[in-house]
Amino acid sequence: MTALKESGTKSNVGVDQNLKITFFPAVNAAVVDSQGRVLLTQRSAKVRAPGYWCLPGGHFDPGETWLSACVREVHEEVGIEVRGGRLVGIYSDPALNVVAHPLSPSGMGQFVTAVFLFEEYRGEIRPNEEVSEWGWFEPEQAPKPLLNSHEIRLADLRAFSGEAFFR
């Protein structure tokens, strides 16, 4: 059985407890090349938070599992096929994951995101319309601006030893 690393028990700092928040299950992929660099994408004007850098990923389609959603999102966004996939962590901390979201009736959504590590991939990067730029970066040298919640995800990737983080 894999040990779990949990950070804190409750974090609702700055979140109005009366606010109706819509939960969004989501996935991110930490695709790492043979040199230990991680694939990051810059968000285009066609998606929320344009201009920000992030790990590839997105929302579920109906009927998907966490892993199948992640594999599909990577293929859709950057055109490569990833294999394997190890869970790096689950991220739901309201302080980092409650954001304005157009699909939420209240205008606010909370992402609950699984991040998977992929060290095997094939194909060439062919970004779709959601990506304006992409590149391979050392995790500690990620370009700016970076989505707020992705700072901790990259830090956890650097520290990952096989035990999933829960934040």
SS3 at position 8: coil
Does the pLDDT at position 140 exceed 90? yes
Q: Are 116 and 85 in contact (CB under 8 A)?
A: yes
Q: Which two tokens stand for residue 135?
A: 């590149």
pLDDT recorded at residue 3: 45
Q: What is the CATH number of domain 19-166?
A: 3.90.79.10
In angstroms, the CA 115 to CA 85 distance is 9
Burial string for 50-78 (b: 16+ CB within 10 Å, else e) reads eebbbbbbbebeeebebbebbbbbbbebb
The predicted-structure confidence for 20-58, as pLDDT tens digits, reads as follows 888 889 999 999 999 999 999 999 999 989 999 999 999
Does the pLDDT at position 2 exceed 50? no
Does the pLDDT at position 1 exceed 50? no
Q: Which residue has the higher pLDDT, 97 or 112?
A: 112
The predicted-structure confidence for 51-105, as pLDDT tens digits, reads as follows 999 999 999 999 999 999 999 999 999 999 999 999 999 999 988 877 776 666 6
Q: Are 52 and 145 in contact (CB under 8 A)?
A: yes
Which positions ≥6 away from 96 have C-beta within 8 Å? 148, 149, 152, 167
Q: Which two tokens stand for residue 26?
A: 């989501």
pLDDT recorded at residue 102: 64
pLDDT recorded at residue 17: 64
- Tell me which DSSP letter residue 104 carries: S
DSSP secondary structure string for all residues of 121-142: EES-----TTEEEEEEE-GGG-
pLDDT recorded at residue 22: 85
Give the pLDDT mean for 144-162: 95
Q: Which two tokens stand for residue 92?
A: 């739901």
Give the pLDDT mean for 110-123: 96
Q: Are strands 22-31 and 108-118 parallel, antiparallel or unpaired?
A: parallel
Stated pTM of the model: 0.86
pLDDT recorded at residue 9: 44
pLDDT recorded at residue 124: 97
pLDDT recorded at residue 108: 81
Q: Are strands 164-166 and 4-6 parallel, antiparallel or unpaired?
A: parallel
